[in-house]
Amino acid sequence: MANILVIATHNRKKAGEMVQILQARFPSLEVRTLADYPSAPEPEETGTTYAENAAIKSESAVLATGEWCVADDAGLEVDGLDGAPGLYSKRFGGEDLPFPEKMALILNALEGLPLASRRARFRCCVAFSAPGVLTETFEATCEGSIADGPRGKGGFGYDPIFLPDDAPGRAMAELTALDKHQISHRGKVLAMFAEALPSLTGIGNL
């Protein structure tokens, strides 16, 4: 019987990215999402760090599913905004505010500021939880800057205004999925998690 790993998110685009990355790394794993568990709750993210919020989500999913669970929490940190929106990236300007309008708030706030103020990074923390096992967390960043305006049709969230250093001249939303996974904060941290997963589960031939 296949081992099961649940991606603890109700965000379909984020889940799709994480499933694609982890299924490619572990083809023998059955990778599911919370869409497979309709009764799984959406826990309140009350943590004061990305790691705390990721752990809240992964531990809640373990209680709901009884399976190995992995969750992430991520944010965009803009130097000219003192690290905002950061931990509150999803709720920036109001939880129901569409991302094009959230991006417009950032672009307007940076208008007229020095170029150094546009330096930014995506930060992502992943938490792994399993029944009877202490939660483990991993963190990675993707350094870059904020564009003058939205570019590209790919990705999601703030991707259209983020110019990663590792893809000069292109916004995150202009990258192919494969290219994005190679350099993004989520791709980097999931690679770290994937390296550790066999030892975390005690199963060496995943």
- Please report, for the domain that includes residue 33, its CATH number: 3.90.950.10
Q: How far is it, in rounded angstroms, from Cα 98 to Cα 34? A: 23
Per-residue pLDDT of the chain (206 residues; tens, 9 = 90+): 568 999 999 888 889 899 999 998 898 899 999 999 999 998 999 999 999 999 999 999 999 999 999 999 999 999 999 999 999 999 999 989 999 999 999 999 999 999 999 999 999 999 999 998 899 999 999 999 999 999 999 989 999 999 999 999 999 999 999 999 999 999 999 999 999 998 888 766 66
Domain assignment present for residue 110? The answer is yes
Which among 73, 148, 159, 179 is annotated as catalytic?
Answer: 73
The answer to whether residue 206 is domain-embedded is no
In total, how many domains does the chain have? 1
145: left (phi over 0), alpha (psi -120 to 50) or beta: beta
CA angle 199, 194, 126 (to 5 degrees): 105
Three-state SS at 129: strand
For residue 76, give its domain range: 4-201
Give the CA distances from residue 131 to residues 53, 97, 108, in Å, rounded to whole numbers and listed in that order: 18, 36, 46
- pLDDT in the model for residue 161: 98
Q: Is residue 148 part of a domain?
A: yes
Q: Is residue 51 assigned to a domain? A: yes
pLDDT at 201: 83
Give the pairing of strands 4-7 and 68-78: parallel
36 catalytic residue (yes or no): no
